[in-house]
A and B are shown apart, each in its own frame.
Chain A
Amino acid sequence: MAAKKEVGEGKFSLNKVLVYLFLITGSLVSLFPFYYMFVMATRLNREINSVPPPFTPGTHLVENFQKVTSNIDFFGAMWNSFFVSTTITIGTLFLCSLAGYTFAKLEFKGKNVLFVMILVTMMVPPQLGLIPQYYIITTLGWLNDFKALIIPGLINAFGIFWMRQYIKESVPFEMIEAAKIDGCSNFRIYWNIVVPMTLPAFATLGIIVFMHVWNDFLWPLVVLRDPSMHTLQVALRALNDSRQMDYGMIMSGTFWATVPLLIVFLLFNRLFIQSLSEGAVKS
C-alpha cells in the first residue's frame, strides 16, 4: 500500500498542481460576482461610472442602503418573503409527508396509478397554465393576497416522491403493525411514529422548498401588483427598473437581499448539498 501511494504521488504531482489551479479558478469565478456586488454596494454611482471601474470596496455602504429603503419598502418585502416562504414550507412539509406516508405504507385501490399521476405532473411546464391560473386568482379575489402564492404553492410532486422514498426505507412495517394492534388510527401512526422517525427528511425537503419559494419570481410578479405586498424578488426588480439607474443603490439592495440566504446556506451547508444531490441521484 505504502509503495503504491508513493508511486501515485510522484506520478500525479504535476496533475495535482493543475487540478488545484483549476479548482481555485473555478472558485474565484464563482465568488467574484458576489465580491463585485459588494464593491458596487459600497460605491457612489459617480465612482462606478468611471473608467476604470472600482475593484475595491468604498465607504458608502450605509448611504446606498438608505437610498434603497427610500425607494422600496425593503424590510416589508423581506418580511413578506419570509412569511410566504415559511408558510409554504410548513404546509408543503405536512401535506407531502402525509401523502408520502400514504403511498409508502398504506394499502388502497389505485395506489400505483395515482402515484404515477403525481410523477407525471412533474413533467408539465408550469408556464402552460399561467394565464388561466391568473384568471382563477382574480376570480377568487386573491390578487394582491398571499393566498395566491401560498395555496397553489402547496402542490409539490417532488416533495411527495421524496418523502415516500424516505419513509419507505426508514420506518419498519413492524412498528406500524404494533401501533395498529394498540389501536392507533392511521393519522396517529403518522403523527406519533412516522413524523418523529423521519425528521432528517423534513429538514432537507424544508430547505429545498424554502429556497425555491424565496427565490421564485414569475408567479409573485404576476399576482402581487401592490408594492406593499411585493416579495423581495419582485421588489428588487422594481428597484432595478426605476428611472435613474443608480447602480450603487441597486447593488446594495441586491446585496442585502442575498445576505440572509448566504447565512442560511453557510449554516446548513452540508445538509443542503447532501439533500440536493441525494434528491437527484434517487430520482
Chain B
Amino acid sequence: METSKKAKWLTEKRRTALSAYLFISPFFILFAIFGLFPMIFSFYLSFFRWDGLNPMTFNGFKNFEFIFNDPVFYSSIKNTFIIGIMGTLPQIIIAILIAFALNSTLIRFRNTFRTMIFLPYITSIVAVAIIFGVVFNNQPFGFANYILSFFDVGPIRWDAEYWPVKIAIATMVFWRWVGYNTIIFLAGMQSIPKELYEAAKMDGATLSQQIRLITLPMLKPITMFVVFTATIGSFQLFTEPLIFLGRNLREEGITMVAYLWRDAFVYNSFGTASAAAIVLFLIIITLTAINLWITNRIGRSKKIS
C-alpha cells in the first residue's frame, strides 16, 4: 500500500502464502490418499484378478469380458436407469407443484406444511427401506397388498417380480426425496422478484400464463441443479435394494453399485468389481457431460464468482 512498507510487504506475502498452503493441505493430502489414489488404483485393479488375499494376477480385459457377458450386469444397468427415471421424474414434477402451492401467498400454515413434507428427507435410507419393506410385504397382510385387495389385485410378490420390485424401490426414492426437492424449488421461487408477477398481472396475464412465462423459465437453473443431483443420486442407489432384497440382491432389483458391492464384498472378486466401477464411472461422466452441455445451451448457468 504505502511505499514505506514495501520491503516488509514481500516477506509478509510469502508468509501468507505459506500459511495458506498449510491451511488447505489437509484436504489435498486426505483427498490424495482416500480419493485420488483409490480412483487410479481402481483402473489398475480392473485389469487384474484378485480376491483380496492372494497375489494379483494380470488378467487383461477378461474382467470386462466377464461383466459384459454377465446378464445380471446388464440387468443392473437397466434397473438403475428404470428405477432412476421412475423415482426421479414424478418426484420433480410433484415437487414443483407442491413448491408452487406453498409459494402462494394465500396459504396459511406454510411452515407446518413445509416441515411435514420435508420430514422424510432427514430419515436414514436404511430406516426408509425397512419401513417400506414392511409396507411392500409379499403377504396378504402387507399394507400395499391389503390396499390392492380392495381392487381384487394381488397379493403381489413385491421383492421378486420384475415391475413390482422396481415400483417398490422407486417409491422409497420418491418418498424420501420429494420434500427435499420441494424446499429447493421453493427457495428458487422465492428468489423470483415479485415485481415480475405484478407487472404481468397488470398486463392481464392469467395464472397459467404467469406459471408458464415467469415461474418456469426463472426456475431453470434450479431445475437443472435438481435434475443434476437426482441423476447422480440415482446412479448411487444401493441401500434401498440391499435392505429391501437382502444380500443376495435378486436380478429384478440389483443396481450398479449393488452389483459392484456384491462382487467385491460377497464374492471377493475385486477385479470384476473394479471393472464394474469403471463402467459406472464412464456412464456417470457421460451423463454429467450431457447434463452440462444441456445446461450451457439452455441458459447461462450461474458461474461461481
Chain B's interface size range is: 35 or more
Residues B188 and A217 in contact, CB atoms below 8 Å apart: no
The stretch among A44-52, A60-68, A197-205 that forms the contact with chain B is A44-52
Please state if A128 and B42 are interface contacts (CB–CB under 8 Å).
yes
Name the distance in Å between B102's Cβ and chain A's nearest Cβ. Answer: 7
Contact B16 A262 (CB under 8 A): no
Is the CB of A144 closer than 8 A to any CB of chain B? no
Tell me the interface secondary structure of chain A in the complex.
Answer: helix
Candidates B15, B39, B180, B265; contact of A222 at CB < 8 Å: B265
Is A250 a contact partner of B130 (Cβ separation < 8 A)?
yes
Q: Are B119 and A265 in contact (CB under 8 A)?
A: yes
Please give, as numbers and ranges, the residues of chain B lying within 8 Å of A119 by CB-CB distance. 304
Considering the chains assembled together, what is the distance between the CA atoms of A123 and B236 in angstroms?
12
Of the candidate stretches B70-78, B82-90, B162-170, B238-246, the one touching chain A is B238-246
Count residues of chain A with CB under 8 A from any CB of chain B: 97
How many Å lie between the Cα of A151 and that of B30 in the bound state?
A: 8
Distance between Cα atoms of A257 and B102 in the complex (Å): 30
Is the pair B38, A16 in contact by a Cβ cutoff of 8 Å?
Answer: no
Contact B126 A152 (CB under 8 A): no
B39 touches A129 (CB 8 A): yes
Known: A125-B284, A131-B274, A265-B122. A251 touches B232 (CB 8 A): no
For A87, the chain B residues whose CB sits under 8 A away are: none
Interface residues, chain A, with chain B CB atoms under 8 Å away: 8-9, 12, 15-16, 19-20, 22-23, 26-27, 29-31, 33-34, 36-37, 40, 48-53, 95, 98-99, 101-103, 106-109, 111, 114, 118-119, 121, 123-136, 151-152, 154-155, 157, 160, 180, 185-187, 190, 211, 214-215, 217-218, 222, 232-233, 236-237, 240-241, 247, 250-251, 254, 257-258, 261-262, 265-266, 269-270, 272-273, 276-278, 280-281, 283
Would you list 12 pairs from A and B whose C-beta atoms are within 8 A, ordered by A residue?
Answer: A26-B117, A49-B141, A51-B141, A129-B35, A129-B41, A135-B41, A190-B23, A254-B130, A258-B124, A261-B123, A280-B222, A281-B184
